[in-house]
Structure 1
Amino acid sequence: MKRSEFRTSRRSFIKATAGMGLAASLSSRAFGGTDSGNPIVLGIQGDLTGALAHDGLWEQRAVVAAANWHNKRGGIAGRPIKVVSVDTETKTDVGIRRLQQLIQEDACDFVVGSGSGGIGVASVPIAKDASVVYLPLSRTDSITTETANPYLYRFVANSSIAARASQKWMIDKIGKKWSIVLSDIAFGHSQRDAFTAALQSVGGEVVQSIALPPNVSDPLPFLLKLDRSVDGILTALWGPDSVRVYPALVTVGVGAKPKFAVSSTTNLFDVLKMGKSVDGLYAFDEVPWELSDYPNADATRTAFTEIGIGPTGRSVEGDDYVMLPSAVSCWECVSFMKRAIEGSGWASRADGIKLSNWTVANPAMPTGEMFLRPNLTVRSADQQAFADVYILQVQSGHMRVVNKIAAGDTMYSPTAAMTR
């Protein structure tokens, strides 16, 4: 297969980003004040088509926007950031091949990884073997448990973070007895296992688990089996499934029951356009949606503006939803590169352990224009990042904060045995 058949072409990349001023990180750019002949190459293992295409586009926009913003300020250690993007098609086998392309053909030093759990889990050992720093956007637990290594840093919140952050609030606010409706994929399984354990640890229980085939056309036969005695319904849904499941819950007569969406999944579809079927829906999220709900709104506005996000957390170009937590994490991933490279003296792939050791000694990321989330810290045991997180609720056509959970209260015991 020719590279042009799967690769994000210059024309399509510019078309997708030009309206937001993001097209400047292509290899032909002249970087003022930097060594343009010796760039730091950052790959995007992007989910640009397939089930996660909408999210992948916003993640790509955020990476490119952050790279441009830093390049305007001298790049990283006097070197420009060159961004190279490929398309996983949201398929595991394709995603693996695209990662190999980024590593072998494009000579990437760092890669922002796919949001797909299957792709992410399969990609970690490939990046490690090549000594390439991998920054996955997947929230599946095993990425920073079984496969944790010094070349892996995860800035998105995994299933265990979401469950630990939410467990007490769910019991106190809604009740102890829960059903979970999940997409039957790695992500759904990870969420089910994490929330089952978390609720059990505080006296609650998941009494029923209903797994839906991904992209299920008719969820009604599955949802008719829901236990009507539960206090609340957890949802861990692949984006396309959400738009069918929430209306179907109303149809089967449980629409009035409290519902709680796990792990930033309300960013996978346009929840605010779903009407009464999502009124009052609670959701775990890594970031607020509305700029006014950020504790550092002025600093956050910089990233929002560069990426193309408006003050309500939606696109400034038309009325479009945004994969907001991943976009913020992408911005922070590029900022982490700058901070850690300049701090550690990293110069090439050979310095991956040096980068990791520096991060162990300097785990806290200072809140500001580079790092938007308060109390953002990278844990040395598994290089999983933790930060303040939130429980949100759909209220009158807006997604508003109803509870904030401090970073320290989201930390679970590490299971990784990482060696450096």
Structure 2
Amino acid sequence: MKKKSNNKLTRRDFIKTTAGAIGGATITLGFPNIILAKKRPIRIGALQDLTGPLYSFGRWGKRSVAGAVKRINEMGGIAGRPVELKVEDSATNVQKGVMKLRKLILKDKCDFIIGPCNSGITIASAPIAKETNTIFFAYGTALSITAHKGNRYIFRGINNVRHIFKALAMTVLKEMGKRYYCMGADYEWGHSVVDEAKRVFDKEGGKLIGEEYSPIGTEDFIPYLNKINPDEVDVIIAGYFTKDILKLATQAYELGLTKKVQIIGGAMPTGLTVKDLGPAGDKIWFSGYGIRRIANMPEELKKYNLEFRKRIGMDEEGRDIKTKEMGAASYTWAPWEHVYWVKKGIEKSGWNSKKDNLKFMMALEGMHVKASYEFPQGDKTMRAEDHQVFASQTVSKIENGKFVVKAIIPGEKLYYPPLVDYRKEKV
């Protein structure tokens, strides 16, 4: 009888190998388990707000990271190594987010972290990333993340609130009145929106009439809005996300403020349809990091975004393919691209473990990428000094029941001097 070759894997052995991987609670999307046994996987941790007020960003962030990991593994992994994904819910809560971050790093042994669209959690995570020698990709958009509250371990692959107001200043601000009133969510991002609005409006000769902050999840904006005299205010700056911007705009409309006053949203209304915003939506200007509707995209980007959206279950209008619930189209490309920044950095630097993190950082610092299936939002550059990406920025408005892109500002026109130089930090 012929002796069985030791190089062949029986069906029973294959089942044992697969069961062992599942039992260990590791997720190696799209990669054969036979190869998994041969090379140590690269472990990516996705820390996303899957519950709480920012859940819409989190659930689409999770889909994007998982979709990118699956695609990479289908194409052979990174430098021949499979990618494992671990996911934790940061729950729109700084304390819980920090606890889950430590779990991903210390217990799950993740090599890289794809963080949430939550500036407060990102800022709290920055010293932990440095302490644990773990590179962290952020898509919260408060300016300070890639300034005095970040460090060399933090990379941000999306623009920030300074880009929002630079784009608005280049397009519509000069056509608006000079008298402005600031309102924002009382946490890092809301304050960042207000600070940047004041900086830009004041430069254009604006006059600040008032400044108010409210908790995330505020239901009743009437006490805040009643302080606004529409005969003395031209523009309301609204530093709010998702349902908060809906409540503020709707209540401003019901009070009659929008007959004379325009609103500038600090972010695209993620998770909300034009119908949700109602008649108040016609009075809001938005500046976004990505384009919601495929039809509004430059022709050269459409094929990349169609494939990307197919992978994450999003349709051409920015909705969930199955439920038709509006998604986070203006943001969800960022965690997808963050996985590919990891891939780019590893391949360029020859990264093998966290001992090579400095080489990885140096590889990404100053890197330029072109629009592709890996980077569907478009061309962009990772600035060396502060690890801030410079990408295109849009200015949009609702017209005839649809979001219409009024302008697309290229990343190179949104330049501002770096506020820090992380390259001086010792790693």
Could you tell me the TM-score, scaled by structure 1's length? Answer: 0.89
Distance 1:331 1:248 in 2: 36
Alignment of structure 1 residues 33-44 onto 2, 5 Å: 35-37=35-37, 38-44=40-46
Q: Please name the residue that 2:322 is paired with.
A: 317
Closer, same or farther in 2 for the Cα pair 1:205/1:76, shift >3 Å? farther
Q: Please name the residue that 1:59 is paired with.
A: 61
Distance 1:218 1:79 in 2: 52
Q: Please name the residue that 1:16 is paired with.
A: none
What is the letter of the counterpart of residue 36 of structure 1? L
Closer, same or farther in 2 for the Cα pair 1:30/1:402, shift >3 Å? closer
1:291 corresponds to 2:297: no
1:303 corresponds to 2:308: yes
Distance 1:308 1:46 in 2: 18
Instruction: Kindly state the Cα deviation for residue 272 of structure 1 after the two structures are TM-superposed.
Output: 4.2
Instruction: Kindly state the Cα deviation for residue 172 of structure 1 after the two structures are TM-superposed.
Output: 2.2
What is the letter of the counterpart of residue 191 of structure 2? H
Distance 1:70 1:213 in 2: 40
Q: Please name the residue that 1:394 is paired with.
A: 398
Closer, same or farther in 2 for the Cα pair 1:177/1:409, shift >3 Å? farther
Instruction: Kindly state the Cα deviation for residue 34 of structure 1 after the two structures are TM-superposed.
Output: 8.3
Alpha-carbon RMSD = 1.9
Q: Please name the residue that 2:221 is paired with.
A: 219
* TM-superposition CA deviations, 1:95-147 (whole Å, max 9, x none): 11100000000000111112222211100110111111101121112111013
Q: Please name the residue that 1:189 is paired with.
A: 191
Instruction: Kindly state the Cα deviation for residue 338 of structure 1 after the two structures are TM-superposed.
Output: 1.2
1:94 corresponds to 2:96: yes
C-alpha contact (below 8 Å) 1:340/1:358 kept by paired residues? yes
* TM-superposition CA deviations, 1:365-408 (whole Å, max 9, x none): 11111112233110001001110110011223322201111212
Closer, same or farther in 2 for the Cα pair 1:110/1:162, shift >3 Å? same
Structure 1 residues not aligned, in runs of 5+:
1-24
C-alpha contact (below 8 Å) 1:184/1:213 kept by paired residues? yes
C-alpha contact (below 8 Å) 2:30/2:73 kept by paired residues? no
Q: Please name the residue that 2:18 is paired with.
A: none
Q: Please name the residue that 2:206 is paired with.
A: 204
Closer, same or farther in 2 for the Cα pair 1:30/1:200, shift >3 Å? closer
1:341 corresponds to 2:343: no
Closer, same or farther in 2 for the Cα pair 1:123/1:268, shift >3 Å? farther
* TM-superposition CA deviations, 1:26-68 (whole Å, max 9, x none): 5265713984141111101111111111221111011101111
Q: Secondary structure at the match of 2:209?
A: strand
Distance 2:365 2:184 in 1: 36
Instruction: Kindly state the Cα deviation for residue 159 of structure 1 after the two structures are TM-superposed.
Output: 1.7
Moved more, 65-74 or 395-404: 395-404
Larger Rg: 2
1:261 corresponds to 2:265: yes
Distance 1:417 1:287 in 2: 27
Q: Secondary structure at the match of 1:279?
A: helix
Distance 2:330 2:350 in 1: 29
1:143 corresponds to 2:148: no
Q: Secondary structure at the match of 1:55?
A: helix
Distance 2:43 2:384 in 1: 25
Instruction: Kindly state the Cα deviation for residue 318 of structure 1 after the two structures are TM-superposed.
Output: 2.3
Q: Please name the residue that 1:415 is paired with.
A: 419
Instruction: Kindly state the Cα deviation for residue 267 of structure 1 after the two structures are TM-superposed.
Output: 1.3
Q: Secondary structure at the match of 2:374?
A: coil
Instruction: Kindly state the Cα deviation for residue 152 of structure 1 after the two structures are TM-superposed.
Output: 1.2
Could you tell me the TM-score, scaled by structure 2's length? Answer: 0.87
**Count of equivalent residues:** 394
Q: Please name the residue that 2:252 is paired with.
A: 249
Q: Secondary structure at the match of 1:206?
A: strand
Closer, same or farther in 2 for the Cα pair 1:33/1:166, shift >3 Å? farther
Distance 1:241 1:367 in 2: 33
Task: Pick from 151, 154, 160 the counterpart of residue 152 of structure 1.
Answer: 154
Closer, same or farther in 2 for the Cα pair 1:417/1:317, shift >3 Å? same
* TM-superposition CA deviations, 1:284-320 (whole Å, max 9, x none): 1011111122221112211111111111122211221
Q: Secondary structure at the match of 1:263?
A: coil
Closer, same or farther in 2 for the Cα pair 1:155/1:320, shift >3 Å? same
Distance 1:127 1:95 in 2: 13
Task: Pick from 273, 279, 283 the counterpart of residue 282 of structure 2.
Answer: 279
Moved more, 293-302 or 160-169: 160-169
Distance 1:389 1:297 in 2: 16
Distance 2:207 2:63 in 1: 40
Closer, same or farther in 2 for the Cα pair 1:173/1:305, shift >3 Å? farther
Q: Please name the residue that 2:370 is paired with.
A: 366
1:130 corresponds to 2:132: yes
C-alpha contact (below 8 Å) 2:245/2:265 kept by paired residues? no
Q: Please name the residue that 2:14 is paired with.
A: none
Q: Please name the residue that 1:329 is paired with.
A: 334
Q: Secondary structure at the match of 2:156?
A: coil
C-alpha contact (below 8 Å) 2:56/2:270 kept by paired residues? no
Distance 1:63 1:194 in 2: 30
Alignment of structure 1 residues 14-29 onto 2, 5 Å: 26-27=26-27
Distance 2:178 2:381 in 1: 31
Distance 2:150 2:314 in 1: 32
Distance 2:159 2:34 in 1: 34
Structure 2 residues not aligned, in runs of 5+:
1-24
Q: Secondary structure at the match of 1:142?
A: helix
Q: Please name the residue that 1:22 is paired with.
A: none
